[in-house]
Chain A
Amino acid sequence: SRRTMGRAMGLAGLLLGLVVVPAVLVSTSLRHGAPRTEAEPEPSGWELAADAVPEDSLWPLPQWVRTSPRQLQLAPSRFQLVHGAGSSAGPGCGLLQDAFRRYYEYMFGHSRRRTWGRRPLAARAEPELFQLQVVIEAGDPGCDKHPQLTSSEAYHLTVTEPVAILKAYEVWGALRGLETFSQLVHEDDYGSFLVNESEINDFPRFAHRGVLLDTSRHYLPMKSILTNLDAMAFNKFNVLHWHVVDDQSFPYQSIYFPELSDKGAYSSNLIYTPADVRLVIEYARLRGIRVIPEFDTPGHTQSWGKGQKDLLTPCYSGGQPTGSFGPVNPVWNTTYNFMTMFFKEISSVFPDEFIHLGGDEVDFSCWKSNPEVKEFMKKQGFGTDYAKLESYYVQNIVDIVSSYNKGQMVWQEVFDHKAQLKPDTVVQVWMANNYAHELSSVTGAGFTTVLSAPWYLDYISYGQDWKKYYSVEPLNFPGSEKQKKLVIGGEACLWGEFVDATNLTPRLWPRASAVGERLWSSSNVTNLQDAYKRLTNHRCRMLRYDLVA
């Protein structure tokens, strides 16, 4: 459920002052080699046209925006981001202090050629904006907490002279508001910083807006992950779904089971130490981003077997072990002893309320070949239905993880194979084929769900594929209003088979931005031409912030 501001403000759709700038179409260029497509609206120059309106640079588009042509000027040497009177947060709020510095740097710092204070302000007609005051309204602002699914990200921004006010219920809303404010500030031809008088009321449509990174198919150095968190913050994403280990490698350095990464990582330097993990979590927290780790089992676990003997199922052929292994062995007690210890560690290392258990693409052939497993199936009365065995396993893990007071996220197969899940389990729908039907089923059964199926960004293709990601409507499935409320959001997934630090950022951004707006903005924000204009400006801004988008 989404928190709204104290006083009921605008609803989705009231976008006064939002003007759709007519497409400045000139080029009839036929793309060499590409099929003839319709001409794209493109800005005639690479800078904002002189008559651009301030909303031209907002991404994602806020729920309610009103701007006036009246401009205010900002002097970098004088302008301040401060805590406002009555705020429950003050200078002791490290999260906001950090954000103030960061956003000051974004707005004014990148123009390296500036020399402050040489020319007096005298000549300008515009009044000066001296401050942005941030006022947190909740009794507990959340400065030292971690963001949660139920955190409030709503904010209200008023930009008038002499002081702009950013009100938010919790610090998370302030972070979102600071991002928006930074998108309103622009430089004119003379290098002066200006902002239009405006009022914005904003909150996200969906509470779970995530990006999945896969650090097993290819190791991603810390710099890559942190840069990506920055980019997520520019786009108001609030969940990093960290698919940290898989078949290919196990880079997570476990405290209880150091052999897992010793034997399972690509090499001894391609790991995430506990300090690395803490840094990712804190860096994310300061940007209002939750870190949900995924330790995918029982499938996708080849790399676990390197450092943990007798965890994976030995496969058999003709009555003899072949030497190769399959999914985690669900029949041995030692498996659950291991998982109990392992998830105890994970539960304490990762502060989020949720852990992703995986559960996808379990290949039953190895289980079917193993005599002990077959014996177990018989004893349990599962017949030949190995989905039941998978569910038996998953249910045990669910119980283990629940005992540590963590909620669970799972891939859709876990639900499809009818495992018994806790009522607050989040089911992630990823299979592209008829996903609308799956959403109906999952929500029909009363589970909350996160949509990824149409947003597998690792599936690259030629041209402006951002449009197809943008055009997805997550609630476009047969279901009651109650069901639709169970869709808590979505995740853009960048699986790592063909991705590493050399190409991650340009592959993910700004394509993921399309998903970001779809998950934050109102459902009727669908105009592609307007989106194009704002997205190109947004992309250029991300480049100015040194993101290689």
Chain B
Amino acid sequence: AENEPSWETPCSELFVYVSTPGCDGFPTLDSKESYKLSISKGSMLLSAETVWGALRGLETFSQLVGRDENGTYYINETEIVDFPRFPHRGLLLDTSRHYLPLRAILETLDVMAYNKFNVFHWHIVDDPSFPYESSTFPELSKQGAFNAMTHVYTASDVRTVIEYARLRGIRVIAEFDTPGHTLSWGPGAPGLLTPCYVGEAPSGVYGPINPIVNSTYQFVTSLFQEVSTVFPDFFLHLGGDEVDFTCWKSNPEIRAFMKEMGFGEDYKKLESFYIQRLLHIVSSLGKGYIVWQEVFDNDVKLRPDTIIHVWKENSMQYLNEMANVTRAGYRALLSAPWYLNRISYGQDWIAAYKVEPLNFAGVPEQKALVMGGEACMWGEYVDVTNLTPRLW
């Protein structure tokens, strides 16, 4: 029949050419993910500088392959030159508010690869539960997990996630959020959290990590020593968000310390005191860090290569924050308009799509400090029964 396409000689091979070696390494913030795809009669070539680019190209190639009504696979002659606009394209999963079984995490990594995400931000512990099995402090998960037998990530699980991610060109950035969001740490680490007071007596309730005792810093050093070894990425996310000062204020020893240090009534200074020591510990372990925006907002002294994670969304205020952070010379990540846990009726993907991360007032050098962003799926109302359809 006249209108049938004339198939060219069937293509039998896609040649993948990678110029720099690196199959056994881990992807980094600086990894090149560019690739070229050239499909023509008699030749299909995918060339990339690195294996990470090759992975991106393979995904694209798979999206070009079509199937007609007779079941024949075909591909059009194509030329593609591709590279990511932003080097940090991440997804946050929260395994503390609800435990996510390993298969849910691995499935998420698969779908991330389909969508060319390259960072898995693992918000692994928080107030409600501590599922991370620490070899240095096994009591943390024994006492802090929802169920120490079943709702934990063993060292083997963690290794599985890291390798599964690596094979897809995805970095795993673990977040051990302190000094707030740490209630689940308390049972397995007595003396770590601040005892809150009602009047003269402890109330039995605990608050953020106690910043005034040496044992805290010994603990933090040991824990992050382990975490730095377990997670190979250069960056760790240290959290630092939503620190509630009420408990600190209620504690007489802390009040005494405030006086001693000349902090007055400004508890942000106490928060800074803790964070600065934490950053120092983590730096000496040879890691870089990402922190939530409060750490920047509260004037903590930061290393110049800190990455600030902008998350507060209040009628587009986040653009101002992006401007402020980058004007101060820090690199920035954007999540504020991408809190995917905040569901609403209809095609909300449109609002997420319309976000322009660089839509703030600033010079080009500032804009160049925006590394990318992360879609966040906080777990208050999310578990394995509804994660995938909510996220994708």
- Specify which of A29, A458, A505 is in contact with B183 (CB 8 Å cutoff): A29
Residue pair B241, A32 in contact (C-beta under 8 Å): yes
Nearest A residue (CB) for B336? A33
B244 at the interface (CB under 8 A from A): yes
Give residues 3-43 of A contacting B (CB, 8 Å): 26-34
Query: A463 to nearest B CB, angstroms?
Result: 7
Residue pair A506, B345 in contact (C-beta under 8 Å): no
Query: B204 to nearest A CB, angstroms?
Result: 10
Nearest B residue (CB) for A498? B346
Give residues 336-392 of B contacting A (CB, 8 Å): 339, 341-347, 376, 378, 380-381, 385-386, 388-390
- Distance between Cα atoms of A29 and B184 in the complex (Å): 10
- Specify which of B146, B311, B344, B386 is in contact with A45 (CB 8 Å cutoff): B146
Residue pair B311, A33 in contact (C-beta under 8 Å): yes
Residue pair B244, A33 in contact (C-beta under 8 Å): no
The contact string, 1 if C-beta is below 8 Å from chain A, for chain B 294-333, is 0000000000000000011100000000000000000000
Residue pair B380, A31 in contact (C-beta under 8 Å): yes
- Specify which of A33, A461, A498 is in contact with B339 (CB 8 Å cutoff): A33
- Distance between Cα atoms of A462 and B343 in the complex (Å): 5
Residue pair A28, B183 in contact (C-beta under 8 Å): yes
Nearest B residue (CB) for A549? B385
A502 — which chain B residues lie within 8 A by C-beta?
388-389
- Specify which of A31, A459, A464, A503 is in contact with B386 (CB 8 Å cutoff): A503
- Specify which of B343, B378, B390 is in contact with A32 (CB 8 Å cutoff): B378
- Distance between Cα atoms of A277 and B127 in the complex (Å): 49
The contact string, 1 if C-beta is below 8 Å from chain B, for chain A 264-302, is 000000000000000000000000000000000000000
- Specify which of B151, B183, B388 is in contact with A27 (CB 8 Å cutoff): B183
B389 — which chain A residues lie within 8 A by C-beta?
502-503, 506-507
- Distance between Cα atoms of A365 and B126 in the complex (Å): 57
Residue pair B345, A458 in contact (C-beta under 8 Å): yes
Nearest B residue (CB) for A542? B385
B40 at the interface (CB under 8 A from A): no
The contact string, 1 if C-beta is below 8 Å from chain A, for chain B 202-242, is 00010100000000000000000000000000000000011
A116 — which chain B residues lie within 8 A by C-beta?
none
Residue pair A543, B242 in contact (C-beta under 8 Å): no
B388 — which chain A residues lie within 8 A by C-beta?
502
Residue pair B385, A46 in contact (C-beta under 8 Å): no
Residue pair A543, B385 in contact (C-beta under 8 Å): yes
In the complex with contacts A28-B244, A32-B241, A33-B311, A461-B385 CB distance below 8 A: no
- Specify which of A27, A45, A462 is in contact with B342 (CB 8 Å cutoff): A462
B181 at the interface (CB under 8 A from A): yes
B128 at the interface (CB under 8 A from A): yes
Residue pair A29, B128 in contact (C-beta under 8 Å): yes
A463 — which chain B residues lie within 8 A by C-beta?
381
- Distance between Cα atoms of A503 and B388 in the complex (Å): 9
B147 at the interface (CB under 8 A from A): yes
Nearest A residue (CB) for B381? A463
Nearest B residue (CB) for A456? B345
A45 — which chain B residues lie within 8 A by C-beta?
146
A548 at the interface (CB under 8 A from B): yes
Residue pair B380, A34 in contact (C-beta under 8 Å): yes
- Specify which of A32, A34, A459, A543 is in contact with B345 (CB 8 Å cutoff): A459
Residue pair B181, A29 in contact (C-beta under 8 Å): yes
A33 — which chain B residues lie within 8 A by C-beta?
311-313, 339, 341-342, 376, 378
A460 at the interface (CB under 8 A from B): yes
Nearest A residue (CB) for B147? A46
The contact string, 1 if C-beta is below 8 Å from chain B, for chain A 27-66, is 1111111100000000001100000000000000000000
In the complex with contacts A29-B181, A32-B378, A543-B385, A461-B147 CB distance below 8 A: no
B343 — which chain A residues lie within 8 A by C-beta?
460-462
In the complex with contacts A459-B345, A461-B343, A461-B345, A29-B385 CB distance below 8 A: no
The contact string, 1 if C-beta is below 8 Å from chain A, for chain B 77-108, is 00000000000000000100000000000000
The contact string, 1 if C-beta is below 8 Å from chain A, for chain B 114-151, is 00000000000011100000000000000000110001
- Distance between Cα atoms of A460 and B347 in the complex (Å): 12
Q: Kindly name the residue among B180, B346, B380 whose own CB sees the greatest number of chain A CB atoms within 10 A.
A: B380
A26 — which chain B residues lie within 8 A by C-beta?
183, 205
Query: A81 to nearest B CB, angstroms?
Result: 29
In the complex with contacts A461-B344, A503-B386, A549-B385, A30-B242 CB distance below 8 A: yes
B313 — which chain A residues lie within 8 A by C-beta?
33
Give residues 417-475 of A contacting B (CB, 8 Å): 458-464
> What number of A-B contacts does a CB cutoff of 8 Å give?
74
B381 — which chain A residues lie within 8 A by C-beta?
462-464
Nearest A residue (CB) for B342? A462
- Distance between Cα atoms of A506 and B339 in the complex (Å): 20
Query: B271 to nearest A CB, angstroms?
Result: 15
Residue pair B342, A32 in contact (C-beta under 8 Å): no
- Distance between Cα atoms of A507 and B376 in the complex (Å): 20
A46 — which chain B residues lie within 8 A by C-beta?
146-147, 151
- Distance between Cα atoms of A239 and B44 in the complex (Å): 58
Nearest A residue (CB) for B312? A33
- Distance between Cα atoms of A430 and B28 in the complex (Å): 54
- Distance between Cα atoms of A549 and B381 in the complex (Å): 12
Nearest B residue (CB) for A459? B345
Query: B251 to nearest A CB, angstroms?
Result: 15
Residue pair B128, A27 in contact (C-beta under 8 Å): yes
- Distance between Cα atoms of A505 and B385 in the complex (Å): 9
- Distance between Cα atoms of A506 and B388 in the complex (Å): 11
- Distance between Cα atoms of A413 and B339 in the complex (Å): 39
- Distance between Cα atoms of A463 and B381 in the complex (Å): 7
- Specify which of B151, B244, B341 is in contact with A30 (CB 8 Å cutoff): B244
Residue pair B386, A506 in contact (C-beta under 8 Å): yes
In the complex with contacts A29-B126, A31-B378, A498-B346, A462-B341 CB distance below 8 A: yes
Q: Kindly name the residue among A27, A31, A463 whose own CB sees the greatest number of chain B CB atoms within 10 A.
A: A31
- Distance between Cα atoms of A29 and B242 in the complex (Å): 9
B205 — which chain A residues lie within 8 A by C-beta?
26, 28
Residue pair B244, A548 in contact (C-beta under 8 Å): no
Query: B222 to nearest A CB, angstroms?
Result: 25
Nearest B residue (CB) for A25? B205
- Distance between Cα atoms of A535 and B31 in the complex (Å): 48
Residue pair B385, A460 in contact (C-beta under 8 Å): no
Residue pair B386, A32 in contact (C-beta under 8 Å): no
- Distance between Cα atoms of A513 and B62 in the complex (Å): 43
A32 — which chain B residues lie within 8 A by C-beta?
94, 241-242, 311, 376, 378
Query: A352 to nearest B CB, angstroms?
Result: 31
Query: B376 to nearest A CB, angstroms?
Result: 7
The contact string, 1 if C-beta is below 8 Å from chain B, for chain A 64-81, is 000000000000000000
Q: Kindly name the residue among A32, A460, A549 whose own CB sees the greatest number of chain B CB atoms within 10 A.
A: A32
The contact string, 1 if C-beta is below 8 Å from chain B, for chain A 474-514, is 00000000000000000000000010001101110000000
B126 — which chain A residues lie within 8 A by C-beta?
29
Residue pair A460, B345 in contact (C-beta under 8 Å): yes
A507 — which chain B residues lie within 8 A by C-beta?
386, 389
- Distance between Cα atoms of A322 and B376 in the complex (Å): 47
Give residues 58-82 of B contacting A (CB, 8 Å): none
- Distance between Cα atoms of A503 and B147 in the complex (Å): 27
- Distance between Cα atoms of A502 and B391 in the complex (Å): 12
Add 15 more A-B contacts to A27-B183, A29-B126, A32-B378 (CB < 8 A). Answer: A29-B127, A30-B180, A30-B242, A30-B244, A31-B380, A32-B376, A33-B378, A460-B345, A461-B343, A461-B345, A462-B344, A498-B346, A503-B390, A505-B385, A548-B385
Spell out B's residues near A (CB within 8 Å): 94, 126-128, 146-147, 151, 180-181, 183, 205, 207, 241-242, 244, 311-313, 339, 341-347, 376, 378, 380-381, 385-386, 388-390
Spell out A's residues near B (CB within 8 Å): 26-34, 45-46, 458-464, 498, 502-503, 505-507, 543, 548-549
The 7 closest A-B pairs by CB, nearest first: A503-B389, A506-B386, A29-B127, A548-B385, A462-B342, A30-B242, A33-B339
8 contacts between A and B (CB under 8 A): A27-B183, A28-B244, A29-B127, A32-B242, A46-B146, A462-B344, A498-B347, A506-B385
